[in-house]
């Protein structure tokens, strides 16, 4: 019990402190000036005025664009920075010497200021370009550093009027869909299936499958809109052929595919220091053949968050190495010093460099000549990506979710992206164009 108590405090202590129901939070707010939150360029997103009231950016468009990232003063968005990082903003991390310095100078105790890695300009742009009336999320990362450059979730709310977010027309606005939303990833999961095949199956160079548009498995059939004919695994990836990957899953089996999925973060309890990311899930129990087939193409019981899928794209971009996402860029004390950033995991190998290199080649082909051509950039920038059109109902009565995950391969623009448009339809025609716009904007901003 002692060991478990120590484990719990070490891993969950920060989350317990940040719980909005923690009475110490309310007590601390009564005598500590809450610190300021800015974006990577210094734009003030949240601050405390002279009366002690929490204030947010003067532009309503900006307030709403960053609403789920920043949160609200009442703690209704428990994953927002204002609540999740209250230990810094409310001075819980201040040393006894820092508190004595405030006491000797007679100044009110003040919490730390936080500079985030996100760009307000990029975040607001993606919000404005998101398909009208649609819900969803978008994440842009620097895959070399792990910095979160943008995190968008729709619908949004105005933190100066949180009560308005409780109406039916914006139901769910207090949920950050980028980190808390769990959706069937559709064909974007074929990155994981492809990685499992490359890691576990020999002689893939000789692999060929004749897609007739129909593949019976168990009591069901996996279908395609058209027959692709005989194709290699790489060609099937570029065409996003469901029947080929369903057949491939039967060779892999649930054990090998499940092990690869878990290596790549599925079923993992993400204990990131800078943010809360809900756990993606991949079924690892004894699957039926048809359940295995549907899982291999990101349907069935597979669920993933947009942040996780952006991290998978980043992992491929990094040659199979995973880096934890970072949201906090700098912590400045009330005395002007710099506080150490929360520890972050870097350098964990998820798949081999050779498997990552092959997947990257195929992802580049997806954007050049496959289902993701509308994500392509000009001016010498090469985009690697994968589209997904995930069914949201068994009878297709509900419009599918549109996905795109990918990244720019150029070293001078190390941006990875995930776009999810709920009930948006085709990933290639809806999510890919938005990804292209977001990546181009990141380049133009020089992030």
Instruction: Tell me 280's DSSP state.
Output: P
For residue 223, give the H/E element and its range: strand 220-223
Within a domain: residue 145?
A: no
Which are the contacts of 418, defined by CB distance < 8 A and separation ≥ 6? 137, 138, 139, 306, 307, 309, 310, 313, 403, 404, 405
User: Domain count of the chain?
Assistant: 1
Q: Is position 45 within any domain?
A: no
Alpha-carbon span 21 to 78, nearest angstrom:
10
CATH for 303: 3.40.710.10
- Evaluate whether 183 touches 304 at the Cβ level (below 8 Å): yes
CA torsion through residues 97, 99, 100, 106, sign: positive
| Contact between 141 and 325 (Cβ < 8 Å) | yes
DSSP 3-state of 284: coil
- Per DSSP bridges, beta strands 113-116 and 37-38 are parallel
- Count how many Cα atoms sit within 13 Å of the Cα of residue 131 in the half-sphere of its side chain: 22
At 76 the pLDDT is 87
Note the pTM of the prediction, 2 decimals: 0.91
β-bridge partners, 216: 221
Classified as helix, coil or strand, 114 is strand
Q: Is the dihedral of CA 405, 139, 76, 8 positive or negative?
A: positive
Q: How many CB atoms lie within 10 A of CB 318?
A: 22
Strand order of the β-sheet with 383-390 is 148-154, 136-142, 415-421, 401-408, 383-390
Residue with tokens 């756990």: 279
The reply to whether 34 falls in a domain is no
pLDDT values of the chain reduced to their tens digit, one per residue, 447 residues = 776 555 444 445 555 455 555 666 656 666 788 999 999 999 999 999 988 899 999 999 999 999 999 999 888 888 999 999 999 999 887 776 666 666 666 667 889 999 999 999 999 999 999 999 999 999 999 999 999 999 999 999 999 988 877 765 566 899 999 999 999 999 999 999 999 999 999 888 778 888 888 888 888 888 887 888 999 999 999 999 999 999 999 999 989 999 999 999 999 999 899 999 999 999 888 778 889 999 999 998 999 999 999 999 999 999 999 999 999 999 999 889 999 998 888 899 999 999 999 999 999 999 999 999 999 999 999 999 999 999 877 667 789 999 999 999 999 999 999 999 999 999 999 999 999 999 999 999 999
CA distance 142 to 102: 38
Domain housing 283: 186-328+344-445
Cα Rg of the chain (Å, integer): 23
Nearest to 150 by CA among 170, 129, 176, 121: 121
d(Cα 372, Cα 375) in Å, to the nearest integer?
Answer: 6
Tell me whether residue 296 is in a domain. Answer: yes
404's enclosing H/E stretch is strand 401-408
Cβ atoms of residues 321 and 313 within 8 Å: no
Please report the pLDDT score of residue 7 as a whole number. Answer: 46
Amino acid 56: pLDDT = 96
At a CB cut-off of 8 Å and minimum separation 6, what does 375 contact? 367, 383, 385, 404, 406, 432, 433, 435, 436, 439
Q: Would residue 101 count as lying in a domain?
A: no
The SS3 of residue 151 is strand
Q: What's the number of CA atoms in the CB half-sphere (13 Å) around residue 258?
A: 14
Question: How remote is the C-alpha of 345 from its chain's centroid?
Answer: 16
Q: Would residue 197 count as lying in a domain?
A: yes
- Residue written as token pair 């893939």: 204
Cis previous bond, 155, omega within 30: yes
Q: Could you give the CA distance from residue 258 to residue 239 in angstroms, rounded to a whole number?
A: 24
Q: For residue 348, what are the β-bridge partners?
A: 322
Q: Which helix (DSSP H) or strand (DSSP E) does residue 55 occupy?
A: strand 54-56
Nearest to 153 by CA among 133, 165, 137: 137
Q: So what's the pLDDT on residue 204?
A: 84
Residue 150 forms part of a structural domain: no
80 within a domain of the structure (yes/no): no
């Amino acid at each position: 019990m002692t060991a478990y108590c120590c484990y719990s405090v070490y891993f969950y202590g920060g989350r317990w402190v940040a719980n909005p129901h923690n009475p110490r939070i309310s007590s601390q707010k009564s005598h500590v000036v809450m610190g300021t939150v800015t974006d990577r360029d210094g734009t003030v997103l949240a601050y405390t005025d002279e009366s002690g009231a929490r204030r947010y950016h003067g532009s309503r468009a900006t307030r709403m664009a960053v609403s789920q990232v920043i949160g609200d003063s009442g703690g209704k968005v428990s994953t927002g920075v204002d609540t999740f990082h209250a230990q810094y903003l409310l001075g819980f991390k201040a040393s006894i010497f820092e508190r004595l310095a405030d006491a000797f100078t007679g100044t009110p105790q003040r919490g730390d200021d936080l500079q985030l890695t996100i760009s307000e300009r990029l975040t607001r742009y993606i919000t404005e370009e998101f398909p009208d009336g649609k819900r969803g999320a978008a994440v842009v990362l620097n895959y070399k550093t792990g910095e979160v450059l943008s995190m968008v979730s729709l619908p949004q709310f105005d933190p100066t009027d949180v009560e308005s977010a409780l109406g039916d027309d914006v139901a769910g606005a207090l949920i950050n869909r980028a980190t808390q939303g769990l959706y069937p990833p559709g064909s974007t999961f074929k990155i994981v299936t492809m990685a499992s095949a490359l890691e576990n199956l020999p002689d893939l160079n000789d692999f060929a499958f004749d897609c007739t548009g129909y593949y019976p498995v168990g009591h069901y059939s996996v279908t395609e809109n058209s027959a692709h004919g005989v194709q290699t695994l790489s060609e099937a990836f570029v065409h996003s052929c469901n029947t080929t990957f369903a057949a491939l899953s039967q060779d892999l089996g649930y054990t090998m595919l499940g092990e690869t999925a878990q290596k790549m973060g599925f079923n993992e309890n993400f204990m990131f220091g800078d943010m809360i990311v809900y756990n993606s899930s991949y079924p690892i129990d004894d699957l039926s053949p048809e359940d295995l087939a549907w899982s291999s193409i990101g349907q069935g019981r597979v669920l993933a968050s947009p942040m996780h899928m952006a991290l998978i794209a980043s992992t491929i971009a990094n040659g199979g190495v995973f880096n934890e996402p970072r949201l906090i860029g700098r912590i400045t004390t009330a005395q002007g010093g710099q506080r150490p950033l929360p520890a972050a995991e870097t350098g964990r190998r998820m798949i081999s460099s050779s498997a990552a290199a092959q997947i990257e080649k195929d992802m580049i082909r997806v954007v050049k000549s496959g289902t993701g051509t509308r994500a392509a950039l000009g001016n010498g920038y090469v985009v690697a990506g994968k589209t997904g059109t995930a069914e949201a109902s068994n009878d297709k009565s509900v419009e599918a979710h549109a996905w795109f995950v990918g990244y720019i391969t150029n070293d001078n623009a190390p941006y990875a992206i995930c776009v999810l448009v709920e009930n948006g339809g085709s990933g290639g025609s809806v999510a890919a164009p938005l990804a292209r716009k977001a990546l181009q904007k990141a380049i133009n901003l020089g992030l």
